[in-house]
Chain A
């Protein structure tokens, strides 16, 4: 059973389009992170959210944490080819102090010039 579901699994869009990817769990997150990974490299941390309802912005990326802290979304405005990569969400599902993150399987995004 996958504890953290990400959707869609694959996404291919044209440059300039907007998109949203989702991360869902039946459990409550103590905290949640989003990463982007490019082929042959390790994931790079984009953001950490902690408070239910929290919204964070990173240039054209907007991250939202659900009020109940069971879901999160990542919205990209005017996607660019440089946004191509695997987007991973990761959550601390076991409570504060667990020192263990659970990762979703990711959304593979391709932005076509």
Chain B
């Protein structure tokens, strides 16, 4: 089986712009979670989707949003980028939810200038 794929792998944006990141889960996995990873804060949960429905959301501002399509592929969007949004954004998939283990993609490295 192919693993979790994320595109693009690297992205450079300027403050105020918006960005869309894409994640394709492992075939058959219906749960997709998104995380932000920074050196200071570690991995922080953004949100989780299952069958196109957001089931849980972390403590991030409304500028961070996401969605999931019928084929389980997911996108996250960040609007009005700030310097502090520079991070590695990770997507993870699992069959029914993260509590029994999930599989991560390689991440998208976002740099905001």
Contacts and interface: CB of A to CB of B under 8 A. Distances in A.
B60 to A, nearest CB: 13
Given A88-B43, A101-B33, A48 B105 contact: no
A99 B103 contact: no
A66 interface: no
B100 interface: yes
A99 B57 CA distance: 9
Contacts, number: 65
Contacts of A96: 99
A48 B44 CA distance: 19
Interface residues of A, number: 26
A44 B99 contact: no
B58 A45 contact: no
Nearest to A30: B99
Contacts of B4: 42
A92 B92 contact: no
A105 B42 contact: yes
Interface of A is mostly: loop
17 contacts: A35-B104, A48-B101, A90-B43, A92-B99, A99-B33, A99-B97, A100-B33, A100-B45, A100-B56, A100-B58, A100-B98, A101-B33, A101-B99, A103-B43, A103-B45, A104-B42, A105-B42
A40 interface: yes
A80 interface: no
Contacts of A44: 104
Given A98-B56, A101-B45, A103-B43, A42 B100 contact: no
B104 A43 contact: yes
B107 A42 contact: yes
A103 B3 CA distance: 22
A100 B92 CA distance: 12
A92 B96 CA distance: 14
B90 interface: yes
Given A33-B101, A41-B107, A103-B44, 20 more contacts: A30-B99, A42-B104, A42-B105, A42-B106, A43-B43, A45-B102, A45-B104, A88-B43, A90-B43, A92-B99, A98-B56, A99-B31, A99-B33, A100-B45, A100-B48, A101-B33, A101-B45, A103-B42, A103-B43, A104-B42
